[in-house]
Chain A
């Protein structure tokens, strides 16, 4: 069927408070998960990491009805998308994860440390994960990025360079003490500690 040219995009609306049984049932509802928060399979190569944190609103209250989605490259910096023409499509690592926050606003993703992805000029970007934040009270999701502390490449990352210096720390996950690679990344939707969100 031939479509006529639409006069614009379909506007965004909030996911509302009740998305869980449709999008993140996680064993609590009679519906299967299309995605979850574990991106790693046994044949995924790369350094295993866990990213965990909490989501807070402008009053500092935890946000228990938030949904987070991440999208990232594999350990070699390739995306599992045929649009990434630089390499064979990566079938062993999907690169996408989704989770709803718990009663304490908490979340976690088990994934791998992403490799280097070039910017439009071919300049390397520091390892990063894309983040989309959805919640009741959010009419349009917010985009952010998760970087990693201790990465020398952060100093020359072209996207971090766009962020005022005093706000960059909100984009950098902090390595937790201990042997396992666990990074803490809290998300503040609003206020003094507000996470940097990008206009993309």
Chain B
């Protein structure tokens, strides 16, 4: 194994304890994490895709009996590593609220309508260049109990594996220009502005389909491999 997953890459992530997001207070480690070298266990990872992804799994607008309500959108992009190389044949999973900001999850009691034609779950496999594509509905903002008048900016949850167990990533894709950004402690848990902006998709007019759907581009950048070592501070 000659691959390198630089520890410095982790600096872009939010601190586990981010008190403005209240649930972190009792769920973040209170003791220091133990640094360790990567072994074969960490440097390998599940290889999934073709056997799990069905033909329409990437299109959340055709999974029900009829079309879901809301603003139809295309979300596409590349799964990349830090050096800009596409991560091929990797599983990309997503889940999201419907156009009204309601999840189908049994615990979600937000009094907004459920859409019988929208589950909000999808998956795709990146191609040989790391490219993936989904068709879905733009999710709505929704309230949550973190603080007075707390609303989450519209977002889509993404889950990606990459090359190894240490490149595992769960993140959220946001939409450009959302007025809720300044008020959201989850979005703002990422303290570095450039890193935070990497979670915001770009409106993509070139790939917007006339008379059919707006398009957003969202590249997902995973840790490693063989990234140029950063300068020692």
Residues in A lying within 8 Å of B, measured CB to CB: 1, 3-23, 25, 28-32, 34-35, 57-59, 61, 63, 65, 69, 71-73, 79-84, 94-96, 117-120, 125, 128, 130, 132, 134-143, 159, 162-163, 167, 189-191, 194, 196-200
Number of A-B residue pairs having CB atoms within 8 Å of each other in the complex: 260
Contact A199 B35 (CB under 8 A): yes
Other A-B contacts than A8-B198, A11-B199, A29-B105, 18 sampled, CB-CB below 8 A, are A9-B198, A9-B222, A13-B172, A14-B21, A18-B105, A22-B94, A58-B30, A81-B46, A83-B164, A96-B48, A120-B1, A137-B27, A141-B170, A167-B31, A190-B29, A190-B30, A199-B10, A199-B36
Query: Can you identify 15 A-B contacts, CB atoms within 8 angstroms?
Result: A1-B129, A3-B84, A10-B171, A13-B14, A19-B95, A30-B63, A65-B107, A83-B164, A96-B48, A117-B41, A118-B39, A130-B41, A136-B23, A139-B18, A139-B186
- B208 at interface, CB cutoff 8 A: no
Report the minimal beta-carbon distance from A139 to chain B, rounded to whole angstroms.
4
Query: Quick one: CB contact mask for B12-49 with A, threshold 8 Å, 1 for yes?
Result: 11111010011111111111011111111111111110
Which of the residues B5, B47, B85, B91 comes within 8 Å of A34, measured between beta carbons? B91
Which of the residues B33, B93, B171, B172 comes within 8 Å of A199, measured between beta carbons? B33
A128 CB contacts on chain B under 8 angstroms: 41
Task: Report how many residues on chain B are interfacial, defined by Cβ distance under 8 Å.
Answer: 91
B86 CB contacts on chain A under 8 angstroms: 3
Query: Quick one: CB contact mask for B213-225 with A, threshold 8 Å, 1 for yes?
Result: 0000001111100
B105 CB contacts on chain A under 8 angstroms: 17-18, 20-21, 29
Which of the residues B27, B165, B169 comes within 8 Å of A138, measured between beta carbons? B27
Contact B40 A135 (CB under 8 A): no
A21 and B220 alpha carbons, distance in the complex (Å) = 22
A59 CB contacts on chain B under 8 angstroms: 26
Residues in B lying within 8 Å of A, measured CB to CB: 1, 5, 7, 9-10, 12-16, 18, 21-31, 33-48, 52, 54, 63, 78, 80, 82-86, 91, 93-95, 97, 103-108, 119-123, 129, 131, 157, 159, 163-166, 168-172, 186-187, 189-190, 194-196, 198-199, 219-223
Contact B38 A200 (CB under 8 A): yes
Contact A139 B84 (CB under 8 A): no
Which of the residues B9, B33, B120, B168 comes within 8 Å of A22, measured between beta carbons? B120
Known interface pairs A9-B222, A57-B27; A23-B95 also in contact (CB < 8 Å): yes
Contact B157 A199 (CB under 8 A): no
